[in-house]
Amino acid sequence: MKTNHKAEVYNSPLIDEFLQEIAPVELERTRKRMLLAIRIDEGIKAKGWKKKDFSSAMKKSPSEITKWLSGTHNFTADTLFDIERVLDINLFQTEDKFPEAMHTFFYSVTIQSSDPGNYSCLKEPNEKSTPSYKTLGQFKSTYSN
């Protein structure tokens, strides 16, 4: 006798109601955690490792690795950076976006002084003297969005 092992679609009003109560931002957060767990699991398999090998390389217990791979763990950035290093994978694509978001501005600063020999901004101007100008230099300012 042949057994059919097809997945069945199960609809439940109770489950539908429960899912509607979850905020969309929380659903997205959970989806991203699951995708992160999948990427880590794929990295482990790509190295030909088992969870035990990965836990040894990370100096963590196998149960902690199991928690990581469940898709519910809230990682710190440092832990994710360590995982990238150990598995030789990229979990973030920040490098590609950085140069596009970089803005550089150049400023030329000039001060005015009534005393040609003294360019101090703190000195009160003398009514009888002629103002003079001196360019202090150019400054570069860089920021990213």
Is the pLDDT at 103 greater than 70? The verdict is: no
pLDDT band at 56; cut points 50, 70, 90:
very high
Residue 127, both tokens:
């009514």
- Return all residues near 126 (Cβ < 8 A) that are at least 6 apart: 114, 115
pLDDT for 123 equals 44
As a whole number of angstroms, the distance between CA 34 and CA 73 comes to 9
pLDDT for 112 equals 56
What integer is the mean pLDDT of 69-79?
92
Tell me which of 135 and 70 has the higher pLDDT: 70
- The pTM of the whole model exceeds 0.85: no
